[in-house]
Copies of this chain bind each other. A is one copy, B any other.
């Protein structure tokens, strides 16, 4: 008898098969037990009839608790009313383990409780939907760059120098030295873009921010393309194609999961290029028109980003922020040296910044001056300065935080559900 996964049921209609899985729930009706089984690929109802399986197996099935593990054999019967279109008429049942009372019940649990039981919470259909969409987003990111001739060149996690100050960095003893955990692969991608032309890195990044917001994790994944000879305008175009591609891939492959999450897909279907583009100064005007106390020179807070993003039906690109607000490596606009050639892409529906990027300083002299202005250790940046000594070229890139993209596409309130094992302030277990 072939052992199959539930998702393969339609290929075995009418056949005798074996399915291995866990009990989601059980309903008893006289000499029948209706078992809802899950195996990670789907759910199916298995009908256990006392007359068919006999006293002993029927008694065993009566003992099954939520999450008990079983191996059931039987015939797959098409049933239009069944969620997956099939039911299993059980001919034999093997119980691997009767589970202890499962801590997570179909009732309200506090977030702390669920997070403490994250390893079990992941078995819920809602968490399945989110993490399957996450997987598809990651696939779509990689396929996008692979199909466009980018080389994956991963940045190191241990770094000797701090990209944007050391206050929000985790560090570790690295033999005789201190290593910092990367916050971004960008500086390394600048080196590899000068070698490979078009590159991306994709890995975990870390930020020791003592803040508890719905948008922050201590450990999060970033995908960061970097392109030699590219300028800000090229990155705007790449970013909008990239986001449109990801959303399209999720809509194409993960409709069922979006439905389970009650995501309004009409809002995702609008995410096509080109995206609206506004300057920082236009954004300030907009906020002022809305009666907010924003003034030129201010950075945007999460609330400002929410209000701005709600002005548009798709992601909006905000570009040319004041250089004073931005990191030392940002190139400035030749027409307006007080402005950085940078952009943020704000997701719609109040999800805020999901992409940040721009053009990098390519002059050795200017970069050296910037390092000094920002009181950064020039020695640690010698290799980075080298990129401006040996064939410097204009170049640009951006980074997208995977968890924020997942939160937006899934329509989640909080990033904590967007990663299998979230690491937050005071949350390191399991």
Contact A421:B389 (CB < 8 A) given known A40-B196, A146-B139, A175-B210: no
Across the interface, which residues of B come within 8 angstroms of A393, CB to CB?
Answer: 20, 69, 96-97
The 8 Å CB contact of A135, one of B22, B69, B151, is: B151
CB A102 to nearest CB in B, in angstroms, measures 6
Across the interface, which residues of B come within 8 angstroms of A173, CB to CB?
Answer: 170-171
The answer to whether B191 and A122 have CB atoms under 8 Å apart is yes
Across the interface, which residues of B come within 8 angstroms of A384, CB to CB?
Answer: 119, 430
The answer to whether B428 and A177 have CB atoms under 8 Å apart is yes
The answer to whether A155 and B420 have CB atoms under 8 Å apart is yes
Instruction: Pick the most buried of A22, A119, A131, A219: most chain B CB atoms within 10 A of its CB.
Output: A119
Contact A39:B197 (CB < 8 A) given known A146-B139, A428-B174: yes
Q: Is A386 an interface residue (CB 8 A)?
A: yes
Q: Is A176 an interface residue (CB 8 A)?
A: yes
Count of chain A residues with a beta carbon within 8 Å of a chain B beta carbon: 93
Q: Is A160 an interface residue (CB 8 A)?
A: yes
The answer to whether B158 and A123 have CB atoms under 8 Å apart is no
Q: Is A34 an interface residue (CB 8 A)?
A: no
Across the interface, which residues of B come within 8 angstroms of A170, CB to CB?
Answer: 172-174, 179
CB under 8 Å from chain B, chain A span 360-406: 380, 383-384, 386-387, 389-394
- Chain B residue, CB-CB nearest to A388: B97
Q: Is A333 an interface residue (CB 8 A)?
A: no
The answer to whether A99 and B420 have CB atoms under 8 Å apart is no
CB A223 to nearest CB in B, in angstroms, measures 13
The answer to whether A69 and B392 have CB atoms under 8 Å apart is yes
- In the complex the two chains form, what is the Cα distance from A148 to B387 in whole Å? 42
Q: Is A188 an interface residue (CB 8 A)?
A: yes
Q: Is A198 an interface residue (CB 8 A)?
A: yes
CB A95 to nearest CB in B, in angstroms, measures 10
- Chain B residue, CB-CB nearest to A203: B204
Q: Is A429 an interface residue (CB 8 A)?
A: yes
The answer to whether B421 and A218 have CB atoms under 8 Å apart is no
The 8 A CB mask of A196-213 against B (1 = contact, 0 = none) is 111000011010101000
The 8 A CB mask of A288-313 against B (1 = contact, 0 = none) is 00000000000000000000000000
The 8 Å CB contact of A119, one of B40, B386, B426, is: B386
Across the interface, which residues of B come within 8 angstroms of A39, CB to CB?
Answer: 197, 228
The 8 Å CB contact of A151, one of B20, B22, B131, is: B131
The answer to whether B426 and A149 have CB atoms under 8 Å apart is no
CB A279 to nearest CB in B, in angstroms, measures 27
Q: Is A41 an interface residue (CB 8 A)?
A: yes
- In the complex the two chains form, what is the Cα distance from A276 to B67 in whole Å? 38
The 8 Å CB contact of A156, one of B69, B157, B210, B423, is: B423
Q: Is A181 an interface residue (CB 8 A)?
A: yes
The 8 Å CB contact of A389, one of B99, B118, B394, is: B99
- In the complex the two chains form, what is the Cα distance from A135 to B142 in whole Å? 11
The answer to whether B198 and A391 have CB atoms under 8 Å apart is no
18 A-B interface contacts by CB (under 8 A): A20-B229, A39-B228, A40-B197, A119-B387, A122-B153, A122-B191, A122-B192, A122-B195, A134-B152, A135-B151, A153-B420, A154-B221, A154-B420, A157-B219, A170-B172, A172-B172, A176-B426, A203-B203
Task: Identify the A interface with B (CB < 8 A).
Answer: 5, 7, 20-23, 39-41, 67-69, 96-97, 99-100, 102, 117-120, 122-123, 127-128, 131-132, 134-135, 138-139, 142, 146, 149, 151-160, 170-177, 179, 181, 188, 191-198, 203-204, 206, 208, 210, 218-219, 221, 228-229, 380, 383-384, 386-387, 389-394, 419-421, 423, 425-426, 428-430
User: Apart from A118-B383, A131-B153, A384-B430, what 10 extra A-B contacts exist at CB < 8 Å?
Assistant: A40-B193, A117-B386, A119-B386, A122-B196, A128-B196, A139-B152, A156-B219, A175-B208, A179-B428, A383-B430
